[in-house]
Amino acid sequence: MGISILGVTLFPVLAALVLAVAGKLRKFLVPLSALIIAVSGLSLVTQQELPLAGTTALMIGIFIAELAVIIFLLYWGLKLKNLWIIIFNLAQLGIITYAKLTGGAVVGTGGDLLVLDPLAKVLILLITVIGPLICVFAVAYMDEYEKAKGLEKSKQGRFFFLLFFFLGGMSLLVTANHFSLVALGWEITTLCSFMLIGHNGDEQSVKNATTALIINSFGGLFLTLGAFLAEDILKVSTISQLVTADKGETVVMAALALLVVAGLTKAAQLPFQSWLLGAMVAPTPVSALLHSSTMVKAGVYLILRLAPGYQDTMLSNVLALVGGFTFLITSALAISQSNGKRILAYSTIANLGLIVMCAGVNTPLALGAAIFLIIFHAVSKALLFLCVGTIELKNGSKDIETMHGLVEKMPFVAVAAMIGMITMFLPPFGMVAGKLGAMEAAAKMPAVVVMVAFGSALTLVFWLRWAGSIMSTTKGLGEIKQEKTHLLISLPLVLLAGAGIVLSLLTDYIYQEAVIAVGSIASPFRQYMIGPIFGVLAVAMVAGMFFAAKAKRQKTTTPYMCGETYLIQQDTLAFVAAMDKPVAYKTSHYYLGHWFAEERLTTVSNIIAIGLIAAMIGVILP
Amino acid sequence: MMEVVLIILGTILLAPLAGGLLTGVDRIITARMQGRQGPPLLQPFYDLIKLWRKEAQITNTLQVFYAVIYLVFAVLSLVLFVLGQNLLLIIFVLTIGSGAMVLGALSTPSPYSQIGANREILQMLAYDPILLITAVALYLVTGSFKLSEVVAYQTASGQPLLFVLPLVFLTMTYVLTIKMRKSPFDISASHHAHQEIVRGITTEYSGPYLALLEIAHWFEVVLVLGLVAIFWANSWLMALILVGAVFLLELLLDNITARLTYRWMLQSTWVVGMGLAVLNIAYLYLA
Amino acid sequence: MSLINKAIAGSPWLVHCNCGSCNGCDIEVLACLTPVYDVERFGVVNIGNPKHADVLVVSGSVNPRNERMLKNIYEQMADPKLVVAVGACAATGGIFRECYNVLGGVDKVIPVDVYVPGCAARPEAIIDGVVLAVEKLKEKLSGEKGA
């Protein structure tokens, strides 16, 4: 059993070290390491439990590792001359050293240093399957990326080192039960994400990486504080002990609240969203990794993990409001964007908000829905980011207005992106089962469910228009060319798209395996009739394709343009104007900027969100 | 099982008939309101048969694909409704259909159908949350999202939901105007605005493909009126009367109002609609 | 088959195209839709989109500038389709016939099925024209079936 846990935590770190210096061999070593990680992950989730007792030597080792990471972050704070980073990390350093000196080494009792419940298994699977897929994609992608950037000296060694190190840290974080291990995993992910966001090293990257580090250090401080309360005052050293502690005690609730706020920062909830929005300056695999299976999911993971601790408290109710509010506002903000990656980023934050809301609603159905959302969001979002990255490389832009007629130019990627989008917001796919479950669970809290209803309608807008843009033809008579895609790029896309569809069919199974421990017996998601709707969808697709194929032989006309159609060079449509001159037209989507102006809405909603979080901490006071 | 199959078949066969007849009645009443004689009752069926017999003509094959998807999911949402399934699910299935229609219109390079599609998206933005909130309101009263249980609740309590949720009902009928493509919200398919956006979202469809969209729309009209009937589900007679009254009201509204801008539509449905619905729900909580 | 023919004849949707008319005939075409004449009795709808329409109603004479437009609209209509030339100008070029920039009537560019005379053509005449066009359509259809 020990091997598979080492395979997902320690092996990625070793692989990272090798890959840092592997040079050309990376092309083979990355897929190989990816495979090993995936196999370890799969074998890990078949196990029942993961006993690991804490020895003094081990605890000291963990402590030293954590100190090292924090000191390294401190070094970066000094190097960037950023006061906030220095303050937050110094405070953390002070607290953990103080705790160590006064409380002695709080050694985990029994074999509960690690945890392997269904929630952890879900996260392990996502990290060890989707993460490596993204790394494989990165092999082919980074070559082209660096070519397009005109980089003289390849920085891929550093890049792959960080990617794999990141995966190791994430695996550690989601299997950790002891606070020291949680904190170590937490700081490693903070560190790696910071380094990856700043990968390009230009001014914008450094600036956004600094923002990410400030916010995540702030979250880290909250995590350390929460752990300190638990370890030093309550004398509990693991999460599983904390969540069973007496809810009536203010200190317990305070520890929980602090940890939840830490989770909110990592999950980029309002008002902490800016770091995730800035993160897209990095190469696409980084965004894909941060947004899908790692990093942000660590935040909601922690919140969900703590959910039994604050069940039926006011804290829980306010948390539902925080999540619902984030879902509503960021969905609205996504409408105001035409930058594809920014739309995806806002959509990620919105869906994390939905998951946080589920944690706040805190009923078995809600928690089940949250797990569904985590799984399906990870798959679809990874797919979408990889697609947008590929499109950006070839198209030169990630603006959705430039993606008209994409299906003519790159049919493969366009269809993959289409599957990614459809699985995000339409039934019968798992994401919607999760969303429906979330709404149903939240129905007893009208304030929350109203926000979710409006947010859900807002998400329709930006997905539909984007999907419409890529699946369109530019002159109506277009022929579809087959594009060449590198195998290492197309393989992850195919696998992710397939997973998005197949996993949706397996919702009953997923419910049994992944949710049942936190949920009830019969899958409530059955009433969403995923099977029958899939059947109908299949019939509709076949019928649609049949008629479309038949239509190929039918009369094809140019679009109606008041009789004044003009073809410029056979591929751009224009109207004929005075003197028989062509006048090209341009269509564009509505961005509703007068309602959803990004800057204003962000300012206002940040203030409200800060108020909500303050209220969340406030309600725990006796 | 046999029963379910019969219900499904019955829905698939009868709904377009009802939808067509309703459209025929609609056109006659509209004509009378304008002081005209109007077409024969069966006119919508003549139109449909004619469209079906016309030469098929396309802009690209994608739009054909989407038209089929639209029809299938319009049918499916009605079938789910008749089978008394989860209301939230029905709303989302309806979204697949409308979404497919939008995608079909966006797939062509035609400026008119693109404008129509974008307006249709905004229409969805206007009615979707209100429908979801209606479902939530039904849940808060009856304790279930399942339509069969919502109906059973009314039969058991003997009190129609209309009396419990009058403001929610008002809001819902208001946004259903959008789904029925009636003025003041007929801004995406524009039955009377060809100077402005030709035929909006349907501009690039012709012949049999237009017929597909028309049938799908009939299914949706029947579903819309079915949603109205839910509010007085303990008596067939009263449900029919309620549906008739709402239908007439929509026609009156169609004839006495001008088309309005999308901003007005969104603001009025979101602010007023949500205000009324929330007021109603709050009242339920306090009472 | 009679139901299908009846349906086809009972639902002529119009698209109206002004090829440089003086607006006299256009006004009369619109007059047909008013309560006094109400062409919707015959299932006629002014649809405004050639892709949906069965009958192309043209007013005004054709000139080199709008010849291409007229052809394009005619091409975008789906079969079976009919053309009704409304007014003297559309029928023959009318008083503009001899102008240097006028090609003549509509039939110089696309095949015309029915000519409606008048300057401007009266609404009754236009309705008669459309009904006649529909009759021709019926003949066409039954002819096809016979052959």
C2-138 CATH fold: Rossmann fold (3.40.50)
CB A37, CB A128: distance < 8 Å? yes
* Tokens of residue A288, six digits: 């894909």
Q: Which helix (H) or strand (E) segment is B210 a member of?
A: helix B208-229
In one letter, which amino acid is C124?
E
Q: Does B38 touch chain C (CB under 8 A)?
A: yes
Q: Which residues pair with A399 in a beta bridge?
A: A339
CA distances in angstroms from A422 to A391, A543, B95, B99, B258, listed in the order given: 18, 19, 12, 10, 36
* pLDDT number for residue A570: 62
Instruction: Choose from B68, B270, B278 for mutation: most chain A CBs within 10 A.
Output: B68
Torsion angle defined by CA atoms of residues A321, A323, A329 and A330, in that order, rounded to the nearest 10 degrees: 180
Instruction: Please indicate whether, in this complex, the C-beta atoms of A468 and B107 are within 8 angstroms of each other.
Output: yes
Q: Does B210 touch chain C (CB under 8 A)?
A: yes
User: Which residues of chain C does B195 touch, with a Cβ-Cβ cutoff of 8 Å?
Assistant: 48
Q: What is the pLDDT of residues A337-383, one digit of tens each?
A: 988 899 999 999 999 999 999 999 988 889 889 998 999 999 999 99
Q: Is the pLDDT of residue C76 over 50?
A: yes
- Residue at A402 is within a domain: yes
pLDDT confidence bin for C58, thresholds 50/70/90: very high
User: Which residues of chain A does B56 touch, with a Cβ-Cβ cutoff of 8 Å?
Assistant: 551, 554-555
Instruction: Please indicate whether, in this complex, the C-beta atoms of A558 and C69 are within 8 angstroms of each other.
Output: no
Give the mean model confidence (pLDDT) for residues B104-126: 89
Chains that touch B (3 or more CB pairs under 8 A): A, C
Instruction: Choose from A560, A564, A573 for mutation: most chain C CBs within 10 A.
Output: A560
Q: Is B56 helix (H, G, I), strand (E, B) or coil?
A: coil
Q: How far apart are alpha carbons B277 and B175 in whole angstroms?
A: 12
Q: What is the pLDDT of residues A280-321, one digit of tens each?
A: 888 999 989 988 888 899 999 999 999 988 888 889 999 999
Q: Which residues pair with C30 in a beta bridge?
A: none
Instruction: Report the mean per-residue pLDDT for chain A.
Output: 86
Give the mean model confidence (pLDDT) for residues A236-264: 87
Instruction: Please indicate whether, in this complex, the C-beta atoms of A555 and C17 are within 8 angstroms of each other.
Output: no
| ipTM surpasses cut 0.90 | yes
* pLDDT number for residue A106: 54
* pLDDT number for residue A212: 93
Q: How far apart are alpha carbons A197 and A214 in whole angstroms?
A: 13
Torsion angle defined by CA atoms of residues C58, C59, C63 and C65, in that order, rounded to the nearest 10 degrees: -70
Beta-carbon contacts of A244 under 8 Å, excluding residues fewer than 6 positions away, are A308, A309
* pLDDT number for residue B22: 94
Instruction: Please indicate whether, in this complex, the C-beta atoms of B278 and A450 are within 8 angstroms of each other.
Output: yes
Q: Is the pLDDT of residue C80 over 90?
A: no
User: Which residues of chain A does B110 touch, with a Cβ-Cβ cutoff of 8 Å?
Assistant: 476, 559-561
Instruction: Please indicate whether, in this complex, the C-beta atoms of B274 and A454 are within 8 angstroms of each other.
Output: yes
* pLDDT number for residue A521: 53
* pLDDT number for residue A475: 63
Instruction: Please indicate whether, in this complex, the C-beta atoms of C38 and B36 are within 8 angstroms of each other.
Output: yes
CB B187, CB B201: distance < 8 Å? no
Instruction: Please indicate whether, in this complex, the C-beta atoms of B65 and A585 are within 8 angstroms of each other.
Output: no
Which of A57-71, A471-485, A603-617 shows the highest mean pLDDT?
A603-617
* pLDDT number for residue A111: 57
Torsion angle defined by CA atoms of residues B233, A529, B121 and A590, in that order, rounded to the nearest 10 degrees: 140
- Closest-CA distance of chain B to residue C106, Å: 23
CA A514 to chain centre: 19
Give the mean model confidence (pLDDT) for residues B165-176: 89
* Tokens of residue C36, six digits: 């006094």
* Tokens of residue B44, six digits: 């919508």
Q: Is the pLDDT of residue A546 over 80?
A: yes
CB-nearest partner of B194 from C3, C40, C48:
C48
CB A175, CB A119: distance < 8 Å? no
Residue A544 CB coordination number (10 Å) = 22
Q: Is the pLDDT of residue C147 over 50?
A: no
Return the higher-pLDDT residue of A8 and B232.
B232
A&B contacts, CB < 8 Å = 196
Give the mean model confidence (pLDDT) for residues A517-526: 60
Task: Give backbone dihedrals phi and psi of C56, rounded to 5 degrees, phi first.
Answer: -100, 115
- Residue at A446 is within a domain: yes
- Residue at A250 is within a domain: no
pLDDT confidence bin for A519, thresholds 50/70/90: very low
Q: Which residues pair with B150 in a beta bridge?
A: none
Q: Which helix (H) or strand (E) segment is A357 a member of?
A: helix A340-361
Beta-carbon contacts of A443 under 8 Å, excluding residues fewer than 6 positions away, are A449, B136, B139, B140, B145
Q: How far apart are alpha carbons B242 and B236 in whole angstroms?
A: 10
> Which of A357, A321, A217 lies closest to A275 in space, CA to CA?
A217
Q: Is the pLDDT of residue A618 over 50?
A: yes
Tell me whether the omega of the peptide bond preceding residue C80 falls within 30 degrees of 0, making it cis.
yes
User: Which residues of chain C does A564 touch, with a Cβ-Cβ cutoff of 8 Å?
Assistant: 69, 72
CB-nearest partner of B99 from A426, A443, A540:
A426
Mean pLDDT lowest among A402-411, A477-486, A602-611, B162-171: A477-486
Q: Is the pLDDT of residue A63 over 80?
A: yes
- In the numeric block, the tokens 């109506």 are attached to A476
Task: Give backbone dihedrals phi and psi of C82, rounded to 5 degrees, phi first.
Answer: -130, 155
- In the numeric block, the tokens 């309705």 are attached to C127
Q: Does A560 touch chain C (CB under 8 A)?
A: yes
Q: Is the pLDDT of residue B141 over 80?
A: yes
Nearest CA in chain C to B46: C7
Q: Spell out the long-range contacts of B9-16 with Cβ–Cβ below 8 A and sequence spacing 24 or more.
A: B11/B75, B11/B78, B11/B79, B11/B82, B12/B75, B12/B79, B15/B75, B15/B78, B15/B218, B15/B219, B15/B222, B16/B215, B16/B218, B16/B219
* pLDDT number for residue A29: 87
Q: Is B182 helix (H, G, I), strand (E, B) or coil?
A: coil
* pLDDT number for residue C66: 87
Beta-carbon contacts of A566 under 8 Å, excluding residues fewer than 6 positions away, are A573, A574, A575, A576, A582
- Closest-CA distance of chain B to residue A506, Å: 18
* pLDDT number for residue A195: 92
* pLDDT number for residue A516: 66
Number of domains in chain A: 1
Question: What is the percent of chain A with per-residue pLDDT over 90, rounded to a whole number?
Answer: 32
CB-nearest partner of B103 from A471, A527, A587:
A471
Q: What is the pLDDT of residues C5-42, one digit of tens each?
A: 778 888 889 899 998 888 999 999 889 888 888 888 88
CB A317, CB A236: distance < 8 Å? no
Q: Is the pLDDT of residue B267 over 60?
A: yes
Beta-carbon contacts of A26 under 8 Å, excluding residues fewer than 6 positions away, are A19, A139, A156, A160
Domain that holds residue A481: 334-556
Beta-carbon contacts of B121 under 8 Å, excluding residues fewer than 6 positions away, are A460, A461, A464, A465, A590, B102
- Residue at A567 is within a domain: no
* pLDDT number for residue B257: 87
Q: How far apart are alpha carbons A235 and A246 in whole angstroms?
A: 13
Q: What is the pLDDT of residues A444-492, one digit of tens each?
A: 888 899 999 999 999 999 999 999 988 888 764 555 566 677 888 888 8
* pLDDT number for residue B195: 64
pLDDT confidence bin for A109, thresholds 50/70/90: low
* pLDDT number for residue B143: 87
User: Which residues of chain A does C78 touch, with a Cβ-Cβ cutoff of 8 Å?
Assistant: 555
Q: What is the pLDDT of residues B39-77, one digit of tens each?
A: 999 999 999 998 988 888 888 888 899 999 999 999 999
Q: How, if at all, do strands B57-58 and A555-556 pair?
A: parallel
Q: Does A541 touch chain B (CB under 8 A)?
A: yes
Instruction: Choose from A477, A556, A562 for mutation: most chain C CBs within 10 A.
Output: A562
Give the mean model confidence (pLDDT) for residues A124-141: 91
| CA angle (C41 as vertex; C36, C46 as ends), nearest 5 | 85
Q: What is the pLDDT of residues B73-92, one digit of tens each?
A: 999 999 999 998 889 999 99
Instruction: Please indicate whether, in this complex, the C-beta atoms of B118 and A590 are within 8 angstroms of each other.
Output: yes
Return the higher-pLDDT residue of C85 and A396.
C85
* pLDDT number for residue A110: 52
- In chain C, what are the domain boundaries? 2-138
User: Which residues of chain A does C110 touch, with a Cβ-Cβ cutoff of 8 Å?
Assistant: none
Q: Does B186 touch chain C (CB under 8 A)?
A: no
